[in-house]
Amino acid sequence: MIKVVHYINQFYAGKGGEEMANIPPEKVKGFVGPGMAFNAAFKGEAEIVATVFCGDSYFNENKEAIDTVIAMIKEEQPDIVICGPAFNAGRYGVACGTVASEVKAQLGIPTLTGMYDENPGVDMFKSKTIIMKTKDSAAGMRKAVAAMAPVALRMAKGEELGSAAAEGYFPTGIRKGLFEEKRGSARAVDMLLKKLAGEEFETEYPMPQFDRVQPNPAVVDLAHAKVALVTSGGIVPKGNPDHIESSSASHYGKYDIEGVQVLTDKTYETAHGGYDPVYANADPNRVLPVDVMREFEKEGRIGELSHYYYATVGNGTAVASAKKFADTFSKELIADGVQAVILTST
Amino acid sequence: MIILTNNPDVAQTFQDRNVLWVDGSYRDVLIEARDMIHQGRRLLTHPLMGSLKPNETPYRSVAVSSEQGDLDMDSLLLIENAIETFDKFAQVTRPDRGVNTPERMLADFRLIDLSLIESALEDR
Amino acid sequence: MGIIKITDIQFAAESKVEGSVLYVNRDELKAHILEDETLASCELDIAKPGESVRITPVKDVIEPRVKVSGEGGVFPGWMAKVKTVGSGRTNVLKGAAVVTTGKIVGFQEGIIDMCGEGAKYSPFSQLNNLVLCVEPVEGTLQHAYEKAVRLAGLKAATYLGKLAKDIEAEEVRTYETPTITEGIKLYPDLPRVGYVLMLQSQGLLHDTYVYGVDAKQSLTTMLYPTETMDGAIISGNCVSACDKNTTYHHLNNPVIEDLYARHGKDLNFVGVIITNENVYLADKERSSDWSAKLCEYLGLDGAIISQEGFGNPDTDLIMNCKKIEAKGVKTVIITDEYAGQDGASQSLADADIAANACVTGGNANTVIHLPKMDKVIGHIEYVDKIAGGWSGSLQEDGSIVAELQVITGATNEMGFNTFSAR
């Protein structure tokens, strides 16, 4: 019988939602929550011997969490570890990706997880563990289990997986050698003829894609321009009224700074969980330079500082999410007559 | 033109020209070149010249412009890619390179580095 | 091209080709090579496919050829006068090769195994090889020694080639070389395709010669494809065994052969543009500008670009690709990869989205295990020192654990092999 350990978060363990996201790792015998569906899908070939779960916030904010989880898994000596699936939950995705890749690297045990395309965990971990493609929410659980269980069985038996496209996992980006039927030059001629004929062809090495943005032309008359501040450094009014997550942010905040001359540690703080917040909390202007902008405003170097600034947390936030945020608030910036934006990060 | 090198033979050969001696590794030369590019200098020679891999030869020479202007993006991309490539090769350590390399082989590595930079800078 | 198939090489009292056997008078050839005063000694050996033999460190591989009719001689500028070649008939000893070895520098590289795991990766494992081990006189400098080994190989290949001058080949291959205007008239409806052949040209042990001229001193220029078949281009490149283009590769350029295979049917093969891979960045700009200009000037619809070497040439490759695509000429590039032993790292030192059609010769960092061979021709102690070998590469039992980089021709960037990566 193949021994499986399942890693899930507090929510799927039935402990609760965001309010329980701070619970430390725990282990229970047998399956919990979605583990039942996995066990059924193994059809007697494998069994979940233990389930390890941890709060998503706890996992992402405590460096020792991963060591505890690994120690718990090691005791069970499993043949394979399944994490999640995490669907589009960012912090859960990062936790699943971390557990899967560290177990694989440290214990040498095959691992498998599942995520939605836009989960930031995909880009972070696809070269380090197999990540099956899933839908964006738990509504896709049945389908995800049906796809993951047979792949997990084969991995546990030490079988080689087929291509990413055939098996339904995200391409790992890991280059594997093979002998083709035709030599390289003949393949090059075939490829060129297809390209010339406008037919589809498949390159053997996809170039790394960089999402480059062409800079806009310079602002001609800065002294009369309305300038706005936007940050991914997580500067929010004290208390984080919009509950922007410390990592894998799902939304952004829009805040009024009309009349605010300088940000202080009494009024503002950072929500960012990816850097040491001491200096940003002591003087939030270090990340969102309201103080300097007000000086520029007085000196006439800029026309005015916009009444609103926008803030999110860039810590593991998916590019797709960030694009969506900007699509929305860019329209507001334009409507407000903003001509230039200063983007600050950390 | 400024020639950055950690190869004594290059420093010797080009002693009448503007040589900046880097007392360090192949990677240190690349980092020094990157810093100079940050200060607005352009790369004149390819930082990965030669087919010797960065974890084989301990020597490196790179020429940059004396003149400083705006940041040259092409130079910056080249040097950053070169540093990334260096670090990729550094993952496979070759203990017989560098410190424990026999003198005869070091001499050959110096010679190749010198020959490549000489042929690049001839008459310039 | 007259093809004379060679299935065996033997030492004999008289040098000759009889049937498919190449007989070599060892002493006569040795004396011929040792006329060069730079050389102190020359050993000749034979390595055949399937034998338990390892050849290392390999410098160059050369196919014996001879001019039967037409202008000039094989290896113009070296073994013959600088006369334009590429017309008439050339006889080839197909299946035979001259392999040169010599420890020019302490980290000289290149392995050819005649059997076992390594033989799957090198095209030269399938050939009947006459191996030259030449040593210089005391005090010879590396530049001079490199040249002496290079010339010894060309001399030996020319010597063997001449044995086939009067043989009537059973198989004759014909390659058409119309001028540009003739080509347009012949195939008005076929896409016009060119070949951009990048030549290694960085300096000592990294050079390529065209009609005797060092390619780094040449502007980008044009050749008839058939000129390469008569040895217009020879290799002086000793570094990066897996992806250097040996003289054998230049003589049997696979892109040229495969473009000819479709010439007049699916495409109109217009010609070969040769361009260099210099170290000086302004040279790279100029050379790639000229490649793009010639592609445009020739009215090409498409071009295949092949590369040689690692690192620095990636930049030339991407520059050529970008600039040629910008002229509206569709490209396919051929390269190889250094993706790390686990295959997870970035493969090339340079990249651009214009390079959307890429053929790869595989990951040169792939780890392979080469079994012990009964016989070693050359110097095995260098295995630890060559690219892709590391300390401890040479195991106590005589086997070798190393990266694919060590195998001569393994990840060739002209697309000579079937090995690839996905």
| Structure-token pair, residue C1 | 């091209």
pLDDT averaged over every residue in chain B = 89
Residue type, C334: I
> Dihedral sign, CA of C177, C181, C185, C190?
positive
How many residues in total does chain A contain? 346
- Spell out which residues of chain A touch residue C259, defining contact as CB-CB under 8 Å: 189
Second CATH level (architecture) for the domain A2-167: 3-Layer(aba) Sandwich (3.40)
C69-80 confidence digits (pLDDT tens) = 999 999 999 999
**Angle at Cα C303 formed by Cα C301 and Cα C308, nearest 5°?**
170
Chain B residue with Cα closest to C318: B78
Residue type, C406: V
- Residue C90 lies inside a defined structural domain of this protein: yes
> Dihedral sign, CA of C292, C294, C297, C302?
negative
Q: How confident is the model at residue C383 (pLDDT cuts 50, 70, 90)?
A: low
Greatest distance between any 2 Cα atoms in chain C: 65
Q: Give the distance, in angstroms, between the CA of residue B68 and the centroid of all CA atoms in the same chain.
A: 19
* Shortest CA gap C152–chain B (Å): 22
Chain C residue with Cα closest to A212: C353
What's the 3-state SS for B40-54?
Answer: CCCECECCCCCCCCC
* Shortest CA gap C266–chain A (Å): 8
The ipTM (two decimal places) reads 0.95
**Angle at Cα C215 formed by Cα C210 and Cα C221, nearest 5°?**
75
B30-58 confidence digits (pLDDT tens) = 999 999 999 999 999 999 998 888 888 89
- Domain hosting B22: range is 2-121
Q: β-strand C65-69 against C89-94: which pairing, if any?
A: antiparallel
Greatest distance between any 2 Cα atoms in chain B: 43
Nearest one of C288, C321, C286 to C303, comparing CA atoms: C321
CB contact under 8 A, C191 and A193: yes
- Residue C356 lies inside a defined structural domain of this protein: yes
At B95 the pLDDT is: 44
Q: Does A29 contact C at CB distance below 8 Å?
A: no
C127-154 confidence digits (pLDDT tens) = 999 999 999 999 998 889 999 999 999 9
Chain C residue with Cα closest to B54: C311
Nearest one of C325, C333, C322 to A204, comparing CA atoms: C333
Chain B residue with Cα closest to C393: B94
- Residue C322 lies inside a defined structural domain of this protein: yes
Residues 6+ apart with CB under 8 A from A145: A34, A37, A38, A41
- Residue C266 lies inside a defined structural domain of this protein: yes
For C378: left if phi > 0, alpha if psi spans -120 to 50, otherwise beta; the answer is left
- Touching subunits for chain A (3+ Cβ pairs under 8 A): C
| Structure-token pair, residue A304 | 């005015």
At B29 the pLDDT is: 97
Residue type, A261: Q
At B98 the pLDDT is: 47
Domain ranges of chain A: 2-167, 222-344
Phi, psi of B99 (to 5 degrees): -55, -40
| Range list of β-strands (E), chain A | 2-9, 26-29, 46-54, 80-87, 111-115, 130-133, 177-179, 226-231, 235-237, 253-256, 268-270, 304-305, 308-311, 340-344
Q: Which residue has the higher pLDDT, B93 or C143?
A: C143
- Domain hosting C350: range is 2-406
CB contact under 8 A, C420 and A204: yes
At A12 the pLDDT is: 96
Residues 6+ apart with CB under 8 A from A46: A1, A2, A3, A4, A79, A80, A152, A153, A156
Would you name the residues of C annotated as active-site residues? 238
Nearest one of A12, A37, A5 to A143, comparing CA atoms: A37
Would the pLDDT of C338 be above 50?
Answer: yes
- Residue C419 lies inside a defined structural domain of this protein: no
Is the pair B, A in contact (3+ CB pairs within 8 Å)?
no
Q: Give the C-alpha separation, C253 to C245, whole Å.
A: 9
- Touching subunits for chain C (3+ Cβ pairs under 8 A): A, B
Would the pLDDT of C243 be above 70?
Answer: yes
Q: What is the pTM of this model?
A: 0.82
Domain count, chain B: 1
Q: CA A125 → CA A112, A248, C166, C322, C398, distances in Å?
A: 11, 14, 65, 31, 39
Q: Give the C-alpha separation, A270 to A91, whole Å.
A: 18
At C391 the pLDDT is: 54
Domain count, chain C: 1
The answer to whether A32 and A53 are in contact (CB under 8 A) is yes
* Shortest CA gap A105–chain C (Å): 13
At B96 the pLDDT is: 46
C57-66 confidence digits (pLDDT tens) = 899 999 999 9
- Residue C309 lies inside a defined structural domain of this protein: yes
- Residue C300 lies inside a defined structural domain of this protein: yes
The answer to whether C260 and C228 are in contact (CB under 8 A) is no
CB contact under 8 A, C337 and A175: yes
pLDDT along chain A (346 residues), means of 10: 96 92 95 95 96 93 92 96 94 95 95 94 92 94 96 94 87 89 97 97 84 82 96 95 86 95 95 88 96 96 96 83 91 95 92
Q: How confident is the model at residue C385 (pLDDT cuts 50, 70, 90)?
A: low
CB contact under 8 A, A184 and C366: no
- Residue C416 lies inside a defined structural domain of this protein: no
Read out DSSP for C307-346? --SSSHHHHHHHHHHHHHHHTT-EEEEEEEE---TTS-S-
Q: How confident is the model at residue C388 (pLDDT cuts 50, 70, 90)?
A: low
C302-330 confidence digits (pLDDT tens) = 999 999 998 899 999 999 999 999 999 99
Read out DSSP for C144-187? HHHHHHHHHHHHHHHHHHHTTTT---SEE-------HHHHHHH-
